[in-house]
Amino acid sequence: MKSVLLLYMSQGGHTARICRRICESIAASGGRGEMMDITEATREGVSWDDYDVLVLGAPVFYGTYDKSVFEFITAYRDKLETKPNAFFNVSVVARTPEKSTVEGNRYMQKFLELSPWKPGDLKVFAGKVDYPSWGWLDTLAIQMIMKYTKGPTDRTAVIDFTDWDDVSAYGRHLLTLAG
C-alpha cells in the first residue's frame, strides 16, 4: 500500500482540515495518508522510511509563510528530497482563477524564491476568510488585502473558498507520485 505523509503548518485549522480531506481521499483510493503538524514532527521525529511521498502544506500570512515553515525546510530538506515530494500553499487571494495557478499565485513564486528546497510538485489552494476568529489588527490588514483584490470586507464574514473536490482530486494525484 502506498503511503503519503502530509506535514503541515496551520494557525487557524484550515490547512489541517485540507490535510484531513486529502488523507480521506488517499484512503478512499486504497492508499494510506497520515498527517503531522511540523511542530510535532520536529519534536517527536518522523519515521521517514515509512512513506512513499512527502508533502508539506502551509498557509500564507502577510504575503509570506510562518518562519517555522522555513526552519522546518532548512532542518529536513535532505529528508524531503529522498522521496517524491510536493508542496501546497493556502491563501485567500487564490479564490480567483488567475491566482489559483502555480504561475499566477505570487505567494507560490515567493516560496520558490525563498525555499532552498525545490519541491517536485506544486499546488495552490484557496483558504478561508474568518474575520470573527482574527484579532482587530489582522482583520484590518486582511480587510485591506480583500478590498484591494475585491474580496469580502464585512468583518462578520466567515467564508470557505476551498474547492473541496479539487482537494480530493489532489489526494488521488499524490498517490500517483508514489509511482
Ligand X SMILES: Cc1cc2nc3c(=O)[nH]c(=O)nc-3n(C[C@H](O)[C@H](O)[C@H](O)COP(=O)(O)O)c2cc1C
Q: Does 59 bind ligand X (CB under 6 A)?
A: yes
Q: Does 62 bind ligand X (CB under 6 A)?
A: yes
> Grid coordinates in use for 73?
525546510
Task: Find out whether 91 and 58 touch, Cβ atoms under 8 Å.
Answer: no
C-alpha to C-alpha distance for 140 and 174, rounded to whole angstroms: 37
Identify the residue among 142, 167, 174, 177 touching ligand X (CB under 6 A): 142
User: Among residues 23 and 93, whose Cβ is nearest to ligand X?
Assistant: 93
User: Among residues 48 and 134, whose Cβ is nearest to ligand X?
Assistant: 134
Q: Which residue has the cell 496551520?
A: 10
Q: Does 105 bind ligand X (CB under 6 A)?
A: no
CB closest to ligand X, residue no: 127
Q: Does 85 bind ligand X (CB under 6 A)?
A: no
C-alpha to C-alpha distance for 140 and 118, rounded to whole angstroms: 33
Helix segments in 55-121, DSSP class H? 67-80, 106-114
Residues lying near ligand X in the complex (CB under 6 A):
10-15, 59-63, 90-93, 127-128, 134, 138, 142, 145
